[in-house]
Amino acid sequence: MKFVRAFFIATLTAFVVGFWATAPASARDTLADIKQRGKLVVGVKTDYKPFGFLDPSGKVVGIEPDLAADVARRLGVTIEYVPVVAANRIQFLQQGRIDLMIATMTDTPEREGLVGIVKPNYYDSGADVLARKGSGLNTWADVRGKTLCGIQGAYYNKDVQDKYGATLQSFTGTAEALNALQSGSCVGFVYDDTFNLPKLNDPQWSGYECKLPSIEALPWGVAVEKSDDKFLAYMSDVVKDWHKSGLIMSLQKKYGLPVSEFAKRMNAEANHK
Amino acid sequence: MHIRLTFMYDMGERARMLHGFEMTVWLSIVTIAASTVIGVIGVWLLGAHSVAVRRAVDGYVQFFRNTPPLVQLYFFFFALSPLLSVHVAGGGSRPMLGNLFWAAFSLSLFAGAFNVEIFRSGIEAIPRTTLEAAESLGFSRLQTFATIVFPLAFRIGLPAFTNNVVNLVKTTSLAYAIAVPEMLYSASQIWSDDLNVPEMMSFILVAYVALVAIVVWTMEWLERRLRIPGYGM
């Protein structure tokens, strides 16, 4: 009994000390840490082609790893990629496991309260339609009265039905919706353009096109730790330069995506000034 | 606590919710009727002379009872339906039968299998002496079935049949998986847009309870109406 009590007190103390030790310290100075280490640690996706994925040799490649490599080049350090997913990307940043996060994260007010999101936004993503060739869907006015497949719960479904007048058949997963599209139950699949556009490079989808422009676009953000104002300001300049130099557009071309309206617009704005 | 039943004041959502409710009612009526017919025919064929026919009915019952209704729906709509395609103008093809048909078809077959077993249990409860009496009076097999056996079997199996009908009304909600705009599908659209999941969930729960209550009252009325004095039912 005495042993149990001692063990219990020891565990409790360990917990308390442990929590105390991991309490957030004063504001981080990531730039200094990176320079001292000689290495930039970046969180990227490794399962989302073409934004962050593994090539056949197992190397991390994609639009976002390339952007991260550009940051490392500017800082004159080496780079280390840490694979992240949506469920842990913010947490890794908060815990200091990564210095920088470029992982297809949509910029929302809720997330702005958790991490420091770099402005200007570096990318955006909306909804477009993967349509069978010859179905005559050239503008959004053409979807009126047509049957489109979709995914249940997507934020743009309401507008697709009410504003554009399409009949929407929403399924629970992309596999079901794509099956319905291929069997001809619907003329097009309305989903995130980041999912639809890479399909055009897939030989299985050679009979399909994405002619419609993206609607309901939401911006993405590069993220740093919340209290790190110095790094935030630095990355803001970096992103501005990305737009000015057209790096985003050239990376889209490199990985087989059509150049997005957002990238073109940001490039034009940056060079106008 | 702020309660937001957004479809009460948004006309578009109200129309969608109402349409969803109508679709559930329609699906329930169609599948109840079709599965009852399937049950009657199935149990009639179970007494056929041909072994092949009896085996076929047994196989049908085994298949549709032993597989989950959602898997059946997926199979019919995603695997079978594309094989029954017609060509469209301008190239390509389109399935002949839409998701509404397949939902009604699949659920009817599912409930029909259970009905066959329910009616069979009713038939086996009829005393052999009654059947022998009918045979000795010169009733043909069809006459015995239609005027004596099935009316009694139906009355005996009525509680289990009510069970099956109630189950069927609730199972229609599975049709949302093949994009049939019934009540659950419509509600999920609304709560995705307005993030009022607790309110919408409570509403459709109440709606399903109300719908099932109507079904149960109808079946209880039927039970009273069909009561045979002296038969103890």
ipTM confidence score: 0.79
Query: Looking at residues B68-74, what average pLDDT do you find?
Result: 96
Query: Looking at residues B148-165, what average pLDDT do you find?
Result: 93
Longest dimension (CA), chain B: 73
Contact B179 A170 (CB under 8 A): yes
**Superfamily classification of domain A27-122+221-272:** Periplasmic binding protein-like II (3.40.190.10)
Domain A127-216 CATH class label: alpha beta
Res B233 pLDDT > 60: no
Q: To the nearest whole percent, how much of chain A has pLDDT over 90?
A: 60
Looking at B67-124, list the stretches that DSSP marks H as alpha helix, in order from N- to C-terminal side. 69-74, 99-124
State both tokens at A224: 């740093």
Res A178 pLDDT > 60: yes
DSSP category for residue B76 = I
Q: Structural domain tally of chain B? A: 1
pLDDT tens per residue, range A93-104: 999 999 999 999
Which segments within chain A are labelled E, that is strand? 39-44, 47-48, 52-54, 60-61, 78-83, 100-101, 116-117, 123-132, 147-151, 167-171, 188-192, 208-209, 215-220, 223-224
Res B63 pLDDT > 90: yes
Do β-strands A100-101 and A116-117 pair in parallel, antiparallel, or remain unpaired? unpaired
- In order, the DSSP letters of B123-184 are HHTS-HHHHHHHHHTT--HHHIIIIIIHHHHHHHTHHHHHHHHHHHHHHGGGGGGGT---HH
Q: Contact at 8 Å (CB) between B24 and B173?
A: yes
The pLDDT value recorded for residue B215 is: 95
Q: If pLDDT is split at 50, 70 and 90, which confidence band does A187 have?
A: very high
The pLDDT value recorded for residue B146 is: 92
Res A22 pLDDT > 80: no
Q: If pLDDT is split at 50, 70 and 90, which confidence band does A261 have?
A: confident
Task: Between A88 and B25, name the one with better pLDDT.
Answer: B25
Res B35 pLDDT > 90: yes
Counted across chains A and B, CB pairs separated by less than 8 A come out at 61
For residue B114, which amino acid is it?
F
Spatial neighbors of B90 by CB under 8 A, at least 6 apart, are A134, A135
Buried b or exposed e, range A152-178, using 16+ CB within 10 angstroms: bebebbbebbeebebebbbbeeeebbb
Best interface-test mutation with B: which of A159, A163, A176, A183 has the largest number of B CBs within 10 A? Answer: A183
Of A212-226, B85-99, B125-139, B156-170, give the lowest mean pLDDT range.
B85-99
Contact A183 B188 (CB under 8 A): no
Domain edges within chain A: 27-122+221-272, 127-216
Query: What chain A residue is nearest to B187 in terms of C-alpha separation?
Result: A153
Q: Contact at 8 Å (CB) between A135 and A186?
A: no
User: Which CATH number do you get for residue B113?
Assistant: 1.10.3720.10
Residue B88 forms part of a structural domain: no
State both tokens at A23: 């309490």
Query: Looking at residues A73-101, what average pLDDT do you find?
Result: 92
Query: Looking at residues A130-141, what average pLDDT do you find?
Result: 90
Domain of residue B174 covers 15-81+93-225
Residue B45 forms part of a structural domain: yes
How many of the other CB atoms lie within 10 Å of CB of A195?
Answer: 17
Task: Between B195 and A194, name the one with better pLDDT.
Answer: A194
Contact B192 A157 (CB under 8 A): yes
Query: Looking at residues B198-217, what average pLDDT do you find?
Result: 94
Q: At what angle do helices B51-66 and B99-124 cross, to 10 degrees?
A: 120
Q: Contact at 8 Å (CB) between B20 and B191?
A: no
Res A169 pLDDT > 90: yes
Q: By C-alpha distance, which of B166, B65, B67 is closest to B120?
A: B65
- For residue B88, the distance in angstroms to the closest alpha carbon of chain A comes to 9
Rounded-to-5 percentages of helix, strand, coil across chain A: 45, 20, 35
The pLDDT value recorded for residue A235 is: 95
Residues of A in contact with B179 (CB under 8 A): 149, 169-171, 180
The pLDDT value recorded for residue A272 is: 86
Contact B92 A182 (CB under 8 A): no
User: Is it true that A27-122+221-272 and A127-216 share their CATH fold?
Assistant: yes
Q: If pLDDT is split at 50, 70 and 90, which confidence band does B22 have?
A: very high
